[in-house]
């Protein structure tokens, strides 16, 4: 596992942005990137045409799967109130490049749109 420098931006349809510049752990065997976003652990796993993202802290555990032009059912667990939700992730754009990941996606609960999001990850090294 090696350390890499990353820069990530997560923005939603309300133009709220979460920006992080951090040292991340990169595992080239498992093709994963792990970093901390304040009190949140973020784990990205890269595949040929798919990306999974795990966002976890003591309050919640969110697991998302991104596959372009597909709707995938995912899990959202809110520990503080014991709530387990199934949400649908529709990936509009998924770009995986050597030093950049870009994902534009929508989240749905019971076919109701929760929000539209953009996630950008740059590997600065």
Three-state DSSP at 30 gives: coil
Question: pTM to 2 decimals?
Answer: 0.92
Question: Domain 2-123 is classified in which CATH homologous superfamily?
Answer: Calycin beta-barrel core domain (2.40.128.20)
50, two tokens: 């798919």
Query: In a structure prediction context, what are the per-residue pLDDT tens digits for the chain, which is 125 residues long?
Result: 899 999 999 999 888 998 999 999 999 999 999 999 888 999 999 998 999 999 999 999 999 999 999 999 999 999 888 899 999 999 999 999 989 999 999 999 999 999 999 999 999 97
| pLDDT for residue 100 | 96
**Apex 19 CA angle, 80 and 64, nearest 5:** 50
Maximum CA pair distance of the chain? 41
Specify the length of the chain in residues: 125
Predicted local confidence at residue 21, as pLDDT: 94
Please check whether residue 44 is in contact with residue 50, taking contact to mean a CB–CB distance below 8 angstroms: no
Q: Domain residue spans in the chain?
A: 2-123
């Amino acid at each position: 596992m090696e350390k890499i420098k990353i820069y990530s931006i997560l923005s939603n349809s309300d133009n709220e942005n979460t920006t992080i510049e951090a040292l991340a752990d990169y595992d080239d065997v498992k093709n994963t990137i792990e970093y901390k976003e304040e009190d949140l652990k973020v784990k990205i796993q890269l595949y040929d045409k798919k990306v999974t993202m795990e966002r976890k802290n003591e309050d919640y555990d969110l697991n998302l799967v991104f596959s372009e032009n597909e709707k995938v059912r995912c899990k959202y667990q809110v520990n503080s109130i014991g709530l387990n939700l199934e949400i649908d992730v529709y990936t509009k754009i998924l770009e995986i490049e050597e030093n950049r990941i870009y994902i534009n996606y929508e989240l749905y609960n019971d076919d109701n749109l929760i929000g539209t999001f953009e996630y950008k990850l740059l590997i600065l090294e």
